[in-house]
Structure 1
Amino acid sequence: MPLSSNSQFGVVPLTQAINRLPVTPTIIRSLGIFASKPLTTTYVRVENKNGALRLVKAVPRNAAGEPPARETRNIENFDMLHLPRADVVMADDVQNLRAFGGQNATTVASVVNDRLATMKADIEMTREHLMLGALQGKIMNADGTSELLDIYNRFGFTRQAHVWDLGTQTTKVGEKIDETMTALKRNLNGEAVNGWICLCSPAFMRALVYHDKIVRIYERYEQAKVYREGETWVDFMHKNIKFIQYDHDFGNGMKIADGEAILLPAGSRTTFAEFFAPANYNETVNTMAQPYYAKRVAMKFDKGWDLEAQSNPLPLVLRPELVATIKVA
């Protein structure tokens, strides 16, 4: 069976194959705000420095230590998350297949790629789930109730929250936006951003775009949308903020709560990061991490192959004071 070939289906070629597969679009990941940070370790050390979180460099065991700190330092270790997905390719799955104009191995590769694509899509949706949690301040497990990480509790931050009275049509919405932006910009401390993004629950988006002070602005934006190709989200731009309707519901209670939104900076190089650890395979120990890994192992009596795909990410908001929750009153 062609899957026996390490040159075609070993850890390296399978890992390369799964990383080459097309990405399943998800809203947060499509924004590109989380910078990819591959590591050779299974954890990342993060230090709180004047409200901004930064990485602490690991050094060899016998290297000289750092000089004594002259201020209180708060350093935390965060373990990367482990997201494995499993499938199988049975001998019968490829028994009678022949690739048109090609060899049997080509057809086996297509079967394997189909399995990898399905597993990768599941992991990608899970990464979106984790990123939403990071933006909300609490990363939750797939059940939506088990907390994996609360960045605010770990470092003693207080989440910014602002209330916009969108239920009252006389509310000066522009002023409320300006007040919120002023509060957030105080925390930039030299960080360069090129705009802001507001991920809105459907209820928040409706209250905003149909408010008397906003509806005409929204209508003009929608009329001009015909000239902007490739936009599929419900969104609009106002006061250098791109309001995007975020209607992902993961079916476990994990979503942006009704009547709420998340406001965050765009174009920041230091605010958002997604760290990756190597896979827990013999072949990948102490190597630079890849976003995805894949491996196959022969089943008992050689009746097929067990396939595994995995990713070991950890999305973190390293400038929590630049992210805020907005609520409709």
Structure 2
Amino acid sequence: MTDPSPFQRALPPLALTMGEPAGIGGEIAAKAWSALRQNGPPFFLIGDPGLLPGIPWQAVEGPEDVPLVFPRALPIMPLLLARPARPGFPDAANASATIDAIRQAVALTVEGRAGAVVTNPIQKATLKAAGFPYPGHTEFLADLAPGEGPPVMLLAAAGLRTVPVTIHCSLREAIERLDQALIIRIARAAAAGLRQDFGIPAPRLAVAGLNPHAGEEGTMGTEDRDIVAPAIEVLQADGIDARGPFPADTMFTPHAREGYDVALGLYHDQALIPVKTLDMAGGVNVTLGLSIVRTSPDHGTALNIAGKGIADPGSLIAALRLAAGIAQHRRHHHHATQGPS
């Protein structure tokens, strides 16, 4: 048996949750292992082995056993379901196992035994039916592993990063929530996250306008003039390179993207549509502001293709690779700002 590579020794293995058992989580986990087993980053799955298609897997007691197992089998910390999963048909009886997988992954990462958490997609409606009180992963993780700032969702794709200022709420509620304080809080957290997690010392932020043409001086709505622009002025006074508000229909062109490191959308779809249009197969969801590193594929449970063997693992592979990269950036940032621990 060969020794783990220097890369594998440098960072604890990543903890991957099983996600919705009736979805494609098991399939893409297996495909990701097949793609990464030789060069990493190494990871282990927390979930039911029955979700995996025909690949070699081996039960492990903890992350410490993963590096030697990973090149020849997918390491798995077994977490059995209450009922056998039926592809495409979520069962609320299995919600507790889905949630427990997340809890275990976070606990192992907080302890330093895992290098980061990578979450497979969950079926929010099924968890809600089982009494899960959170709108999604982001809010749940914020309670499990709170950081110094608010949790911020960042979407990363080839050549684009976006952050939604408001997330899992209706468009009407998003507009009602939008105020200067919220924009400032999310922008500050995004800037801090880019410095700590992406190694960008002076991040450039582009803020989208809410209304068509960013309000066009108040003729198409006053929110951009009265809320967004003053928030940007405060950020600039803080020394943050924030600009805008920019018309959302022109700020995602290739030329425009060269001028910023992250774009802030004021509501969910304004930030997610550009990323998913540009790189649906390789987009990654990152949660900034936690005490741990967390990434996720930028897609859902894909119940319509579950069990058919045709799911694309590209986004999960990108999420695993990005999680390892962010974890390394955090180590370097911590060393540079606080010295060796």
TM-score, normalising length: structure 1: 0.28
Q: Which has the higher helix share?
A: 2
TM-score, normalising length: structure 2: 0.27
Q: Which has the higher strand share?
A: 1
